[in-house]
Amino acid sequence: MGTVTVSFEMTLDGVFDQMEHWFDVDDPELVRHSDELVFGADAVLLGRESYEFFREYWPAQSDDRGFAAHYNALPKHVASTTLTGPLDWNATLIEGDVAETVRGLREQYGSIISHGYGQLAATLMDAGLVDEVHVGIHPFIVGHAEVRLRTPHPVGLRLLDVRRYDSGTIFARYAPG
């Protein structure tokens, strides 16, 4: 059975949807970390907001590592109550019960990544479908944004690994339970 990894990056005060000024895309250690996660994935799960944001950005990107080409080629499955299919960018709209669909995707793919922590991640967590949570914590405080990590009930996490980078960013890897 395949695994589902929820991955997101945030500031010390929990902001992850306003990435201006704090997310350093030129940090080679962060690039290596992202490469490990994405090149190891067989499919991507996205909520509507992440899908719309990434769909506008990634198809126009290229790089000498092959990251953009690999990410663009990955099959993407999008959970949304407002989008209608068919979708572009190698994406399929999840119709019906999201948790049931993801259970089927776990049978189909070895490694599935989900970017961001919104309603989709909360749904997956509540259904017991998240195997790991990867959190990049950046040394920056926004100070005025709402913290949006939500779940229908408290979820305990067990620390699996921590990586500290020279930039001050910390990546923590957790498993539910």
The ranges assigned to domains in the chain are: 3-16+23-109+120-140+149-176
**pLDDT attached to residue 29:** 82
Q: pLDDT-based confidence at 155, cuts 50/70/90?
A: confident
Chain-centroid distance of CA 48 in Å reads 12
DSSP string of 140-169? Answer: ----SS------SS---EEEEEEEE-TTS-
Q: pLDDT-based confidence at 12, cuts 50/70/90?
A: confident
Is there a contact between 111 and 151 (Cβ–Cβ < 8 Å)? no
Q: pLDDT-based confidence at 135, cuts 50/70/90?
A: very high
**pLDDT attached to residue 90:** 96
- CATH no., domain 3-16+23-109+120-140+149-176: 3.40.430.10
CA separation, residue 127 to residues 3, 75, 102, 123 (Å): 14, 22, 10, 6
Q: pLDDT-based confidence at 25, cuts 50/70/90?
A: low
**pLDDT attached to residue 10:** 87
112 CB-near residues (< 8 Å, 6+ apart): 2, 3, 4, 5, 41, 42, 43, 44, 45, 102, 105, 106
Chain-centroid distance of CA 159 in Å reads 18
**pLDDT attached to residue 17:** 67
Tell me the percentage of the chain whose pLDDT exceeds 70: 91
**pLDDT attached to residue 147:** 62
**pLDDT attached to residue 151:** 72
Query: 165 is written with which tokens?
Result: 């980078």
Half-sphere exposure of residue 95: CA atoms within 13 angstroms, side-chain side: 5
The residue type at 49: E
Q: In the sheet where 43-47 sits, what is the strand order?
A: 91-94, 76-79, 43-47, 111-115, 3-11, 132-138, 170-176, 157-164
The residue type at 38: V
